[in-house]
Amino acid sequence: MSEISRIADQLDRAFDGDAWHGDPLMTILDGVTAAQAAAHPIPNAHSMWEIVHHLLAWKTAVPIRLRGEVKELHGAEDWPPVTDTSDAAWRNCLSDLRDKHAALVAAARAFPESKLNDLAPARDHSYYVLLHGMVQHDLYHAGQIAILKKAVS
């Protein structure tokens, strides 16, 4: 198996696959209602929905970086606000998350393995670190969502 294939496998395992550590992100989000997703059960912490928006932002940004373009996320671009808390908006948000994840994995699979050690644009880390960082990013925020889910259940 190529290194790119292994990275894509890890991206999928963290997102909705057979993760070694326990439940992947989408399993944790399973059954979360729009009202639960929008809730702020922990003072000064993001809601599950805000975290999902943040995950979407990064799943959108990283394929741009993989094309060699500079993509920065600041403020509302990094943490997009939740403006519609309807059930339909939550379903659409989760559907968008699945779509953006699939696009990220496709971009990773298409990335030339020979460039994995090259520096990502405007960064002091490689594309290899960037892609593994996305695995870590999903898992970090999945843990936050798991705690928030328990707090609203």
Q: Does pLDDT of 21 surpass 90?
A: no
Q: Taking residues 44-62, report their average pLDDT.
A: 98
CA distance 93 to 99: 10
Of all residues in the chain, what percent carry a pLDDT higher than 90? 97
Q: Is 126 exposed, middle or buried (0-12, 13-18, 19+ CB in 10 A)?
A: middle
CA distance 75 to 38: 19
What CATH number is associated with residue 119?
Answer: 1.20.120.450
Domain count, the chain: 1
pTM for the model stands at: 0.97
Of all residues in the chain, what percent carry a pLDDT higher than 70? 100
Q: Taking residues 21-30, report their average pLDDT.
A: 96
**In this predicted structure, what is the pLDDT of residue 49?**
98
CA distance 67 to 89: 30
Each residue's pLDDT tens digit, 76-99: 999 999 999 999 999 999 999 999
Domain that holds residue 130: 3-152
Q: Does pLDDT of 32 surpass 90?
A: yes
